[in-house]
Amino acid sequence: MSGTFLGMPSFQAAAKEALGNAQQRRNLEHATRTIRGKRAQVVAELDDWEGLRRTAAAIKDNVLTHLDSYLLQLEESLTRAGATVHWASDAEEANRIITGLVRATGTDEVVKVKSMATQEIGLNEALEEAGIRAWETDLAELIVQLGHDRPSHILVPAVHRNRAEIREIFLREMGQVGAPPPAVLTSDPRELAEAARVHLREKFLRARVAVSGANFAVADTGTLVVVESEGNGRMCLTLPETLISVVGIEKVVPRLEDLEVFLQLLPRSSTGERMNPYTSTWTGVTPGDGPQDVHVVLLDNGRTDALADSVGRQALRCIRCSACLNVCPVYQRVGGHAYGSVYPGPIGAILNPQLRGTTSEVDQSLPYASSLCGACGDVCPVGIEIPDLIVHLRTRVVDEHRGGVPSGEQLAMKGAAWLFADHRRWEKAQKGAELGGRVLGGKDTIGRLPGPLAAWSDARDAPTPPAETFRTWWKREKGGRR
């Protein structure tokens, strides 16, 4: 089960199970509340946050609507700087390219920088099948990997685990794959982090190949950027001889100077810091400094499908900050696993159905995993109108199901639309409700509500209908007026 999300139940079913996990709900509640507060504080420090967001959105929209030329420019810049560029249409092709590159070095292990793209393509599993061990070096990713678990948050993949659970995982698993934790280990986060430092250091020092993603890829210089906190990224990007970076094609920014916008937005939105501890930039190969064998795999894997949707396209602005997860009341209660993807939360609800298509049960259910409260759209640093996109994708799911034998919902919606299309029909339907309210009284009259009102009230203890609609009252009291 580790690392894969195939055959996921629909969001609704998975959510129901997750809601029953009291420990996880406490962990999530604490974590999201903490990070929300930090974000709000550092965002408020900037004079023109809204202006920065608008600029970022405009830069990304410029990139996306000129992606063909920017990709060619990026390729040229990278090649000029001594990097080798590979193109991968899908996960399978990317994994094949990377496996081949690792094999060519003669090594059988790689160290990995936390990277959403490599999780998305299931790289670790593909490498494992090829007999190559991939060591996750981000602390949270290490916790997930050692726990044979799945990530549940973009920034803090082990957010669903608390310190006691992490200690247990370290004691049980660490020694089997490298330097063991100290015999006496408490659940103090400092001790746990120290155990990870010791465990991973021997891996960093001996590693010959590293695999990373990139937060940004600068077209005009060929510079790649990794934004991180722990220094595991710097270790991977610096010490090995070979570096393979998997970069989604939407990660391009046109000019180096564009980074000034994103380096202000990303840390504040992501960890709630003015700046993250470490940001690394590298431009191909620098003689005498860092990896001398540098590869970049440009990954499509569904991104061009999203690009083809003129409305849905803006989801590709995403810089993977996870601010939308932290403010989402649904995510906060259900956690990340129910989304059946490495991209959970509101961004996952709009990204997964676009990258993977809407053929699976879970991808069809994701656009409905939202109360449309709008908190996600408000915090998105690149101005993705997440609620609008959710509605857009619901429409896509509904439209894809048209034409067959109509479902109950389709019939109810069609019937209601027919009622509302003429106010006289609607009034007649209301009369039925009035009658129900007057004669029957109690709560079992709910089912007698007209049209979609009936469907809504099925799930609730809705109040019973009143004895008289507003319309009836108006006609009686004010009828002469119009």
Partner 1 sequence: MSSRAAILGRVSAALAGADRVPPPRQEYGAPAAVPDVVGLFVERVEDYRAVVEQVAPQELAAAVARALGGTDRVVVPPGLEGAWLSALDGAEVLVDDGDLSPDDLDRCGAVVTAAAVGIATTGTIVLDHRPDQGRRALSLVPDLHVCVVRESQLVGDVPESVTLLRAAVDAGRPSTWISGPSATSDIELERVEGVHGPRTLHVLLVRDGDGLQSPA
Partner 2 sequence: MTSLPGSGLRVALFATCFNDTMWPETPRAVVTVLERLGVSVDFPLEQTCCGQMFTNTGYAREALPLVERFADVFEEYDAVVAPSGSCVGSVRHQHAGVARGCGRPALADRATAAAGKVYELSELLIDVLGVTDVGATFPHRVTYHPTCHSLRMLRVADKPLRLLREVRGIELVDLPEAEECCGFGGTFAMKNSDTSVAMGADKAQHVRETRAEVLVAGDNSCLAHIGGLLTRQRSGTRVMHLAEVLASTERDFAAANELGGPPYAAGARDGREATA
Binding to partner 1 in span 174-193, by CB under 8 A = 189-190, 192-193
| 299 membership: H or E segment, kind and range | strand 293-299
Contact with partner 1 (CB under 8 A) among 16, 29, 41, 72:
72
User: What would the DSSP string read from start to end of 252-279?
Assistant: EES-GGGHHHHHHHHHHHHTSSSS-SEE
- Tell me the CA distances in angstroms from 89 to 29, 247, 318, 354, 379, one per residue in order: 38, 12, 20, 15, 32
Q: What's the closest the beta carbon of residue 225 comes to partner 1, in angstroms? A: 9
In the region spanning residues 424 to 443, those forming contacts with partner 2, defined by CB under 8 A, are 426, 430, 433, 437, 441-443
Contacts of 434 (CB under 8 A, 6+ apart): 465, 466, 467, 468, 469, 472
| d(C-alpha 391, C-alpha 450), whole Å | 24
Count of residues interacting with partner 1 (CB under 8 A): 91
Provide the greatest CA pair distance for the chain: 91
- Tell me the CA distances in angstroms from 219 to 255, 283, 294, one per residue in order: 6, 11, 17
In the region spanning residues 227 to 266, those forming contacts with partner 2, defined by CB under 8 A, are none
Contacts of 476 (CB under 8 A, 6+ apart): none
Check binding of 294 to partner 1 (CB under 8 A): no
Contact with partner 1 (CB under 8 A) among 21, 61, 178, 360:
61
Check binding of 171 to partner 1 (CB under 8 A): no
Nearer to partner 1 by Cβ, of 73 and 457: the residue is 73
Pairing of strands 109-112, 133-136: parallel
Check binding of 480 to partner 2 (CB under 8 A): no
CA atoms within 13 A on the CB side of 286: 11
Q: What's the closest the beta carbon of residue 266 comes to partner 2, in angstroms? A: 23
Pairing of strands 216-218, 223-228: antiparallel
> How distant is the alpha carbon of residue 267 from its chain centre?
16
Q: What's the closest the beta carbon of residue 189 comes to partner 1, in angstroms? A: 4
Check binding of 472 to partner 1 (CB under 8 A): no
Contact with partner 1 (CB under 8 A) among 177, 263, 373, 429:
263
Check binding of 55 to partner 2 (CB under 8 A): no
Q: What's the closest the beta carbon of residue 471 comes to partner 2, in angstroms? A: 6
> How distant is the alpha carbon of residue 65 from its chain centre?
22
Q: Which two tokens stand for residue 163?
A: 């310190």
Answer with the entry of partner 1, partner 2, none that 148 interacts with (C-beta below 5 to 8 A by kind). Answer: none
Answer with the entry of partner 2, partner 1, none that 452 interacts with (C-beta below 5 to 8 A by kind). Answer: partner 2
Answer with the entry of partner 2, partner 1, none that 404 interacts with (C-beta below 5 to 8 A by kind). Answer: none
Contact with partner 1 (CB under 8 A) among 147, 181, 248, 290:
290
Q: Measuring CA to CA, which residue among 359, 367, 348, 366 is closest to residue 10?
A: 366
Q: What's the closest the beta carbon of residue 451 comes to partner 2, in angstroms? A: 8
Check binding of 87 to partner 2 (CB under 8 A): no
The CA R_g of the chain, rounded to the nearest whole Å, is 26
In the region spanning residues 400 to 429, those forming contacts with partner 1, defined by CB under 8 A, are none
| 328 membership: H or E segment, kind and range | none
Q: Measuring CA to CA, which residue among 5, 206, 20, 245 is closest to residue 113?
A: 245
In the region spanning residues 295 to 324, those forming contacts with partner 2, defined by CB under 8 A, are 311
The stretch among 306-314, 362-370, 399-407, 443-451 that binds partner 1 (CB under 8 A) is 306-314
Contact with partner 1 (CB under 8 A) among 152, 232, 242, 464:
232
Q: What's the closest the beta carbon of residue 193 comes to partner 1, in angstroms? A: 5
Pairing of strands 216-218, 84-88: unpaired
Contact with partner 1 (CB under 8 A) among 304, 371, 395, 407:
304
Answer with the entry of partner 1, partner 2, none that 201 interacts with (C-beta below 5 to 8 A by kind). Answer: partner 1
In the region spanning residues 319 to 378, those forming contacts with partner 2, defined by CB under 8 A, are 329-330, 333-334, 367-375, 377-378
Check binding of 186 to partner 2 (CB under 8 A): no
The stretch among 1-9, 175-183, 267-275, 387-395 that binds partner 1 (CB under 8 A) is 267-275
Q: Measuring CA to CA, which residue among 257, 319, 256 is closest to residue 283?
A: 256
> How distant is the alpha carbon of residue 18 from its chain centre?
18
Answer with the entry of partner 1, partner 2, none that 320 interacts with (C-beta below 5 to 8 A by kind). Answer: none
Nearer to partner 1 by Cβ, of 64 and 319: the residue is 64
